[in-house]
Amino acid sequence: MVPGKNLSGQWIDGFATAAEYPRHHSYVRMSQHTMVPSILERYTMREIGRPIVGVAAVLVLIFAGYCTVLFLDDAVNGLLSPAAVGILIALKVCIALDVLLPVSLFLAVILALGRFHADRELLAMEAAGAGYWPVVKAVLVLGLLLAVIVGLVSGFVRPRAYEQMYRLKARGKNELNLAHIEARRFYELGAGRDGVFFAERVDDRDGLVHGVHVWLQEGFRRQVIQAQSAVQGVDPDTGDQVIEFHDGYHYDMDDAAGSCQVVSFRRLRRRITPALALGGAAAKLKALSTVRLALSGRPEEIAEVQWRRSTGVTTLLLALLGIPLSRTVPRRGKHARVTTAFVIFFIYYNVQLMARSWVEQQVVPAFPGLWWVPFLLACLTVSWLAPRLRAASAPRPTGSDAGGRG
């Protein structure tokens, strides 16, 4: 045997020259059917698994930074506490995992196999008689594993995270913190009812706000509170946080009955409670359980449950699509196809959103629903991957055959 190097750069005997032996040689047959495929599959899975963690971490950090900007305004204005902002960001990240994880695997496959092409490792696999199938099997195993995880996240974790997020945002909007509001700015109140809070002037020394106007509406009933000042306090009977209004008027109007009551007060305590904090969160579509959605016939709920079920399929298809997409021409580098991958995913994701909207608006029936989008992705994957597999599986002339023809 002639010394050679394996894929990790370690010197061994015979491996590098296996392709020089005839196909009927016992060592090559053993390598083709037992040793090499299992080694290469583990090696490929390990090399793909490494960038998955890094890519996922980067995407999560970018998305968390985006969410921080979204919630920062409410935190500065006192509508959300810093702790609530942190919880909301964590919930938003959990909700986005059914998108971030498939993208992470997609990019990891392209990066890992792109390095294989750049370092000629795939050429070495084919020369050793292993072909292209160990790579496909490794990607298929990782794709199936992550597809199951993404399916569970989308079907169970995501709706639960949405429910908790709606509850937290409702509680934050209805428990207004007067110590952090700004003067001459409108603050939205309510979860399930409309409300606006406005103060003309804020006194930081005593915590009083002056020139207070509050408007609330629940159905046909409207309430307006105008007060010279207000301060945040605690109800001595219940211990709940309340807003105590001083020297003003309370208007209670019922549009259905056509009545209006006006009350003048010296002091009025009100707790603006989330009227639909529980029911409103449960009634929102994205917070409904997958089992409940599966039993529904409403177009909006059909679109939502099909979206959740398609995430696992998308994960597997993107992983397989990364195999042909990772192939680069010489001297272009292993990252040459990353931009192409982002463009493909951007187009796919937006087409899927469009298909979901069509199902909700009944432009497309429940079948095919939005399943035609993953079907197109599957056709694209097969059309790019199949020629490569056929070329790798085609019989090649051995050294003895070549000599005979000569």
> Is the pLDDT score of 379 beyond 90?
yes
Amino acid symbol at 254 = D
354-372 residue pLDDT tens: 999 999 888 988 888 899 9
As a whole number of angstroms, the distance between CA 202 and CA 189 comes to 19
CA nearest neighbour of 321 among 106, 70, 134, 155:
106
Would you state the pLDDT for residue 331?
58
- Cβ contact 245:234 at 8 Å: no
> Is the pLDDT score of 33 beyond 50?
no
110-140 residue pLDDT tens: 888 888 777 677 667 766 666 677 788 889 9
- Cβ contact 351:290 at 8 Å: no
> Is the pLDDT score of 44 beyond 90?
no
- Cβ contact 220:213 at 8 Å: no
Would you state the pLDDT for residue 337?
76
Provide the mean pLDDT of the chain.
77
As a whole number of angstroms, the distance between CA 292 and CA 214 comes to 38
Q: Scanning the structure block, which residue is given the tokens 């290469």?
A: 40
Q: What is the mean pLDDT of residues 249-277?
A: 78
210-230 residue pLDDT tens: 999 988 887 788 889 999 998
User: What whole-number percentage of the chain has pLDDT above 70?
Assistant: 72
| Maximum pairwise Cα distance, the chain | 111
Would you state the pLDDT for residue 146?
94
> Is the pLDDT score of 395 beyond 50?
yes
